[in-house]
Amino acid sequence: MTLRTRLTERLGIRHPILLAPMGFVSGGALAAAVSAGGGLGLIGGGYAEAEWINREFDAARNQRIGCGFITWAMARRPAVLDEALQRTPAAVMLSFGDASPFIPRIKRAGALVICQVQSIRQARRVLSEGADVIVAQGTEAGGHGGGRSTFPLVPAVADLVAQSGRDVLVVAAGGIADGRGLAASLMLGADGVLIGTRFLASAESLVAPAAKTRVVGASGDDTLRTRVFDIARRYDWPEEYSGRALVNRFSKTWHGREDALIAAGATERRRYAAAAAAGDVDTALVFAGEGVDLIHDIEPAGVILNRIVAEAAAALAQQLH
């Protein structure tokens, strides 16, 4: 069973599903599994660490995959993009920063440019800068994001692109974890979806088993957008981007008390790092989106992908009768 859209045509894939390039989560094995299943896997370039990126490209073996970067972090290590482009990715995704310095280099290398946005203002900018695909990310998404909700943002971006007359694709992201989310996204005007948290809870993801189990047992009510984990990890994220994560003892202690956490300094950072190294998910970060209510088990990525497509096709067919 396939769902043909402009995204499947442009990327040469069977299903309109992209793996979110989650840092330290979407490694080569997961990206390869999503691509083998008919979508497009994107490894998470994260904070532009060349050794990690090269290792995960190797882990994908001969599967056709892409790569994604936190743009503001890559701007500090721009040579990493050239290393990634040497691996001939199908696409490169840029998120959370100024994409314009990198778009020409990606296009010259023959890869599609995917730009993730959280607002109409950002969508308008990357549209003018030459993005091939725009991911409209709603605040329901796990990990870092903005304040707009998926349901109104996606059609607004789709309308913007249509009015521009440019041949640019729109992909929905944020809270999409099953076939109903894919079907709804297509009805909203998207050409496909970018899925993160559902694939985080897959057999191939790099997340520790305890974190996967925590996701499976969680509810969307158990998530919040916060900066406390970035402060503890000393990641200098721009103010407009918080991270959606599962609530735990650490966030209950420090969320809303960010100044106190900063003042606690190295002592609290060491305690956090020790807990993270020990796999203590009651202290350490577990990014997850509001779609966790729809995640009930840990399965191979190919099984997850095929079920999402089958559910979406059934939902769309039902609505036509």
Handedness of CA 137, 290, 38, 97 (dihedral sign): positive
Q: pLDDT at position 232, please?
A: 92
Q: CA neighbours within 13 Å on the CB side: how many for 159?
A: 7
Q: CA neighbours within 13 Å on the CB side: how many for 270?
A: 4
Q: pLDDT at position 321, please?
A: 55
First CA to last CA distance, the chain: 19
Handedness of CA 142, 146, 152, 158 (dihedral sign): negative
Q: pLDDT at position 48, please?
A: 73
Where exactly are the structural domains of the chain?
A: 6-207+296-319, 219-277
Low-confidence ranges of the chain (pLDDT < 70): 319-321
Domain 6-207+296-319 has CATH 3.20.20.70: yes
Continuous segment of H or E residues that includes residue 221: none
Question: Three-state DSSP class for 124?
Answer: helix
Give the position of tokens 């509001």.
290
| Cβ pair 146, 240 in contact under 8 A | yes
Q: How many helices (H) and strands (E) does the chain have?
A: 15, 11
CB within 8 A of 125, min separation 6: which ones? none
| Cβ pair 228, 250 in contact under 8 A | yes
What is the pTM assigned to this prediction? 0.94
Q: Within 10 A of 121 (CB to CB), how many other CB atoms are there?
A: 8
Tokens of 266: 């190295």
Please choose, from the candidates 198, 208, 214, the residue with its C-alpha nearest in 3D space to the C-alpha of residue 291: 198
| Cβ pair 11, 33 in contact under 8 A | no
Pairing state of beta strands 223-226 and 242-246? Answer: antiparallel
Q: Which one-letter DSSP state was computed for residue 235?
A: -
Q: DSSP alpha helices (H): ranges in 130-243? A: 150-164, 179-187, 197-200, 209-216, 228-233
Q: CA neighbours within 13 Å on the CB side: how many for 275?
A: 20
Residues pairing with 166 in the sheet: none
| Cβ pair 145, 138 in contact under 8 A | yes
Q: pLDDT at position 49, please?
A: 84
Dmax of the chain from CA atoms? Answer: 62
Query: What pLDDT, in 10s, does the model give residues 65-85?
Result: 999 999 999 999 999 999 999
Distance CA 167, CA 298 (A): 37
| Cβ pair 93, 69 in contact under 8 A | yes
